Structure 1
């Protein structure tokens, strides 16, 4: 059975520190997935790698399928318009790999529930 990669896709920013929580998330996800396949990061702009580079790396590593997970809070224009275009280009470049996209993480109720818990804990924390 082949490897199944996963790529966390974020917007990107000029400040390198912006990437830190994404790197922590990728590390936690990789640990949770074990040997299922690689977990990578990709960015729309301002940071590297971009999605075509990340997909190419996982394809070269032998992944037979790759799930792209937009780490966006909502389904804005980047997720609805830009991401499908980029994924289509990646699919054309790697027809042997099955590419899929998840919805934006912020659209999931479990993620929203986690944010609610965070907000309540922050409110209850001492100054």
Structure 2
């Protein structure tokens, strides 16, 4: 008797370190020009997810990684464990200590998944990078 099995696989590109690890290696700060570059790259990655109808729900520096080799200047969004279709009412788990500072107000209220919550989390992430850059410069 013959059986057929179907297995879902996800194949991802090999990636380098995440943005938080990179910031640590650079003494805890990015140059302001780097923050602006990172802001553009990360927002583009989030946008790519949103136009496909999904909300990430866990935007933070450790969920963005640099590419390798010829893709080293590209920033990739990773960790889709909390990702859901937009508008879906979800059950929230308790955030880890590293995710909490980047949570949107809507997430704290346990609201439905919306793109604007990802953008708000992105804003907090970029603001954190800017503040660290400016504090270390002056």
TM-score (norm 2): 0.27
Which structure shows the higher helix fraction?
A: 1
TM-score (norm 1): 0.29
Larger radius of gyration: 2
* Structure with greater proportional strand content: 1
